[in-house]
Structure 1
Amino acid sequence: MLHRIAEGWMKRAKVRREPVELDFDPTQADFLEKLLPFCEHPRFQSLSPNDRQKILSCGWLIYNEKTVAIETAIVTPSCNDALAGQIPGLGGDTFRHIICETLVDEAYHLLLVENANRLTRFHRDLGHIRVPTFNLVRFMEMEQAGYSEPWQRILIQLATSVVSEIFVSDYLHQLSDCQDIQPMNRATVAAHRHDELAHSKIFTLLAEAFYPALSPVEKAFFAEILPKPIAWFADMELDVWESVLQQLQIPGAASIIADCRPLNANAALRVDYSGVTELARNLGVLDTACGQDGFLALGIAA
């Protein structure tokens, strides 16, 4: 299956096809209001149309910056670990071939979203907005910092990569066929998702290859870690939003975010995690006490 996916890259990959049109339509909204974590908050609803438009534009910037974080801080390092021979079971030519193709895809996705954000910042006068580190990355790095062995940190990175690649297609689907937003934005996300549908399958197959090659101790560790990125990915990133709202000088920004924090308590239960639990079941992770305990800790009766 991996060989067939690799052989189809020349025809499938968006980097090999027509470039995305980057025409900006200032009359169109840049983002979907329903995707804002505070969309129903009375203070947000009472803001001026100008403030709400700026927040929607920043929603698009944040959406893209999270994509950048996933590609650069999570997925690419795992691909590099595999190419460096740091991940058991992924040393064959087919694995190296498809990992190199994936890295090319990810580099192109960075170009896509950076171009879109550059134009959005210019046309919406948002060049001053800075997006801080996402919890998805911060939580992964905090988990890694709790362990001293390099193989533990590599497996934490790898678990986060696998879960992120399973989730990212649905994450992108929210905008990829939406007719109510900027055409440039929709086209950018659709192009990205086209590749990520293949990446989700690729990383699932890679997991099925490397997990059996792990030692018993490594398997137990991976089984314990695998569920954690579900909650990290599903986090509402309220710290990021609080910073951005303050940069926009939105009245009552701190209050809006404070009121939303209780909604973030059970983040993992707000996403469709069936792809991760199916993988865990196929790998045998759910046959282990570590795996079962890890999912139950998130409230997931896998």
Structure 2
Amino acid sequence: MDASLIGYDHHDEPSQSRQLLLRISESWNTRAKVRREALDLTFEPARDDFLETLLPFHQHPLYQALSECDRQRILSCGWLIYNDKTVAIETAIVTPSCNDALEGRIPGLEGGLMRKLVCETLVDEAYHLLLVENASRITRHYRGLGDIRIPTFNLVRFMEEAKAGCSEGWQRTLVQLATSVVSEIFVSDYLHQLSDCHTIQTLNRATVAAHRHDELAHSKVFTGLAETFYPALDRKQQAFFAEVLPKPIEWFADMELDIWDDVLAQLGIVQGRTIVADCRPMNANAVRRVDYSGVVNLGRNIGVFDTMNGRDSFGLLGIAA
């Protein structure tokens, strides 16, 4: 027997989701970027660090009126914020859910295949942290931004507030898990624009491209995990998960303007508060700016829309079954 298959649950019904997860796991040694060559860390001072159109205020006249030096510093901070959001997703959202699975707190994910997938995911996520930390460290050094500090992201804060409002431990576990599932579905699209952008730093583009390569698989992994654990939940747990699943869509789509308000102040941009304040009305319709079809398809596949909790919760975001 292939040693990589030892401990798998061969007696289980080979569902389509389980077969997909098995193929993903078996391909990890040749697929995962951590198993490939290291990135070239060469810095190119003449290239932008970030894509200007990804700044939430890139069309604001006060931003456009800033000096080239100020705009370049803001672009570099955009890259630092982008990387720190990646770190937040990996460390505060996904890794705790992986730990919950390994520690037996998620029904349906106890088998050998599931544990192997979770461990491979944790290795991937640790490597992604190294990738973005290297890129951020280099940017901070060459752009003189060592003192810039990035506050807590709303994505994490909203999740923690939702968990704090739960009375049961299993509810907190499912809030964390729903946020992990939605984040992993969204993150490959979040990385897409920079991964294909050849006008920014080669290192920055390559960092995002390597990360996205793994996340395309992770999206399938977490979708498959959801299709596996949801049927194993009891009816009360299913109703709760159906209610909470769409909420991270709004959290992920948030424009994180509080972060930008703080960072522009650190940069000494005197018009920064006005620029951010003028953008806040756009954040009211943040959900419309993201493609949530993957979450909707997952909800439909696992039966979330068969529950009143699920239909009502998605409906509050303007998302119909």
Partner of 1:13: 32
Render the CA deviation track for 1:164-197: whole Å, top value 9, x for unaligned: 0000000000100101111100000000000000
Question: Equivalences for 1:161-240 in 2 at 5 Å?
Answer: 161-240=180-259
* 2: CA distance, partners of 1:18 / 1:229: 34
Partner of 2:158: 139
**Corresponding residue to 1:49 among 47, 68, 83:** 68
* 2: CA distance, partners of 1:234 / 1:102: 24
Structure 1 gap ranges (5+): none
Question: Is residue 281 of structure 2 the alignment partner of residue 259 of structure 1?
Answer: no
Amino acid at match of 1:224: E
Question: Is residue 173 of structure 2 the alignment partner of residue 154 of structure 1?
Answer: yes
* 1: CA distance, partners of 2:140 / 2:161: 31
**Corresponding residue to 1:121 among 126, 140, 145:** 140
Amino acid at match of 2:237: E
The Cα of 1:145 is off from its aligned counterpart by 0.5
Partner of 1:77: 96
Partner of 2:129: 110
Identity of aligned residues (%): 72
The Cα of 1:299 is off from its aligned counterpart by 1.2
* 1: CA distance, partners of 2:287 / 2:162: 17
Question: Is residue 280 of structure 2 the alignment partner of residue 273 of structure 1?
Answer: no
With 206-215 and 249-258 compared, the bigger mean Cα shift is at 249-258
* 1: CA distance, partners of 2:147 / 2:159: 28
Question: Is residue 120 of structure 2 the alignment partner of residue 101 of structure 1?
Answer: yes
SS at match of 2:136: helix
Partner of 2:317: 298
**Corresponding residue to 1:66 among 71, 85, 101:** 85
* 1: CA distance, partners of 2:23 / 2:57: 43
* 2: CA distance, partners of 1:286 / 1:23: 49
The Cα of 1:3 is off from its aligned counterpart by 1.3
Render the CA deviation track for 1:73-116: whole Å, top value 9, x for unaligned: 00000000000000000000000001000000000000000000
Q: TM-score, normalised by structure 2?
A: 0.94
Amino acid at match of 1:113: V
Q: Show structure 1 runs of 4+ deviating over 2 A.
A: none
* 1: CA distance, partners of 2:193 / 2:105: 35
Amino acid at match of 1:187: A
The Cα of 1:148 is off from its aligned counterpart by 1.6
Q: TM-score, normalised by structure 1?
A: 0.99
* 2: CA distance, partners of 1:116 / 1:226: 32
Count of residue pairs the alignment pairs up: 302
Question: Is residue 268 of structure 2 the alignment partner of residue 249 of structure 1?
Answer: yes
SS at match of 2:107: coil
Partner of 2:6: none
RMSD over aligned Cα atoms: 0.5
The Cα of 1:251 is off from its aligned counterpart by 1.9
* 2: CA distance, partners of 1:151 / 1:202: 22
The Cα of 1:288 is off from its aligned counterpart by 1.1
